[in-house]
Copies of this chain bind each other. A is one copy, B any other.
């Protein structure tokens, strides 16, 4: 495959964030693009990490939580820290914690959707009766 690299403004416009936001994530150690002189060069994997960070952001995660999520996606076995049972169990617990947090959020969304639906109906009804 061809060289898949990106400039900061390419990523910024693709994901509709400011360049400041992307630089901020680098400052916090979440992204580590290469450099061409002063210019930042982002790889395909940098781009994937950014996608994960921004999805976390949309769900209200802190950067530390997104950092964890990225670590959780890291394939098992590619890191020596996962090579023993103790680490794997700890890792599994973290995954399950995130899962229950997501389940709770899903519940919140469904409740809010139901309530908005009702508000919509009340509104349509009021419009009809004008």
Which residues on A are within 8 Å of B, measured CB to CB? Answer: 55, 57-60, 69, 72-73, 75-77, 82, 84-85, 88-89, 91-92, 95-96, 98-99, 102, 104-106, 108-109, 111-113, 115-117, 119-120, 122-127, 130
12 contacts between A and B (CB under 8 A): A59-B112, A60-B60, A72-B119, A76-B126, A82-B126, A85-B130, A92-B124, A96-B120, A99-B113, A102-B112, A105-B109, A109-B109
Q: Check if A95 sits within 8 Å of B123, measured CB to CB.
A: yes
Distance, CA A106 to CA B59, complexed state (A):
9
Q: Check if A95 sits within 8 Å of B109, measured CB to CB.
A: no
Contact of A106 among B88, B91, B106, B122 (CB under 8 A): B106
Distance, CA A78 to CA B112, complexed state (A):
21
Q: Check if A127 sits within 8 Å of B58, measured CB to CB.
A: no
Distance, CA A130 to CA B112, complexed state (A):
45
Q: Check if A59 sits within 8 Å of B119, measured CB to CB.
A: no
Contact of A95 among B76, B88, B98, B120 (CB under 8 A): B120
Q: Check if A75 sits within 8 Å of B109, measured CB to CB.
A: no
Distance, CA A80 to CA B79, complexed state (A):
62
Beyond known contacts A92-B127, A99-B113: 8 more, CB 8 A cutoff: A59-B108, A69-B112, A92-B124, A95-B123, A98-B112, A99-B117, A102-B113, A102-B116
